[in-house]
Amino acid sequence: MLPDCLSAEGERRCRRLLAGATARLRARPAAAAVLVPLCSVRGVPALLYTLRSSRLPGRHKGDVSFPGGKCDPADRDVVHTALRETREEVGLVVPEEHVWGVLRPVHDQRKTTVVPVLAGVGPLDPQSLRPNPDEVDEVFALPLAHLLQEQNQGYTHFCHGGHFRYTLPVFLHGPHRIWGLTAVITEFTLQLLAPGVYQPCLASPELPRG
């Protein structure tokens, strides 16, 4: 049973659960921040993803990710970074009151911290968004119901130096495969929004280290 996370009661619950982490991490400097946009597409709760442009230089070209980017010194805090990047990349303006809180930060292979910020953006039509073609090739939404189905969930064991090190989740059968840090952040979000329903594959709360 998918709890009604778009309702006012659901929002209050999430805000309450995230309040402690938000207060602690909001002002702490980090390398990058992303926005996890919880929207409602045709009445169905969904998460919004972007497909990064293959013309971008760098390690993450062509990958699926949440809108976001590096923290600028001019930004007030990580929430501001996430909202600014979302506006620049996707053309979606999210007012600060719609931010529900800050999720657990994740680290990528180079130990840079990425802070996910969860916001409820309300009803949205992904087709109406005009993404910036230099940074984003495509914007798509995946319903929570799709992400919570077991046949769409997978995992991958990673090794290093000949030994097993960590496991990362992967979400399949959407328009694009969701893996890496984006899948980890999706897992945190699903654990928060549907606690009984989603079985996390990251068994320990330890963060994956590259």
Partner 1 sequence: MAAMVLAATGLLRGSGSWGRSRLRFGAPAYRQFSSGGAYPSIPLSSPLPGVPKPVFATVDGQEKFETRVTTLENGLRVASQNKFGQFCTVGILINSGSRYEAKYLSGIAHFLEKLAFSSTDRFDSKDEILLTLEKHGGICDCQTSRDTTMYAVSADSKGLDTVVGLLADVVLHPRLTDEEIELTRMAVRFELEDLGMRPDPEPLLTEMIHEAAYRENTVGLHRFCPTENIAKIDRSVLHSYLRNYYTPDRMVLAGVGVGHEQLVECARKYLLGTRPAWGSGAAVHVDGSVAQYTGGIVKLERDMSSVSLGPTPFPELTHIMIGLESCSFLEGDFLPFAVLNMMMGGGGSFSAGGPGKGMFTRLYLNVLNRHHWMYNATSYHHSYEDTGLLCIHASADPRQVREMVEIITREFVLMAGTVDVVELERAKTQLMSMLMMNLEARPVIFEDVGRQVLATRSRKLPHELCALIRDVKPEDIKRVASAMLRRKPAVAALGDLSDLPAYEHVQAALANKDGRLPRTYRLFR
Site residues (CB under 8 A) for partner 1?
Answer: 54-55, 57, 61-62, 137, 154-160, 162, 164-165, 168, 170, 172, 179
54 CB-near residues (< 8 Å, 6+ apart): 61, 62, 137
Shortest Å, Cβ 159 to partner 1: 5
The CA-based dihedral angle spanning residues 26, 195, 92, 116, taken in that order and rounded to the nearest 10 degrees: 30
Residue number with CB closer to partner 1 (70 or 173) = 173
Residue number with CB closer to partner 1 (73 or 162) = 162
Which of 209, 3, 189 is CA-nearest to residue 200? 189
Shortest Å, Cβ 180 to partner 1: 8
- Reading the block at residue 175, the tokens are 């328009």
Residue number with CB closer to partner 1 (18 or 139) = 139
Shortest Å, Cβ 156 to partner 1: 4
Shortest Å, Cβ 82 to partner 1: 25
Residue number with CB closer to partner 1 (29 or 62) = 62
Which of 105, 74, 92 is CA-nearest to residue 83? 92
d(CA 184, CA 190): 10
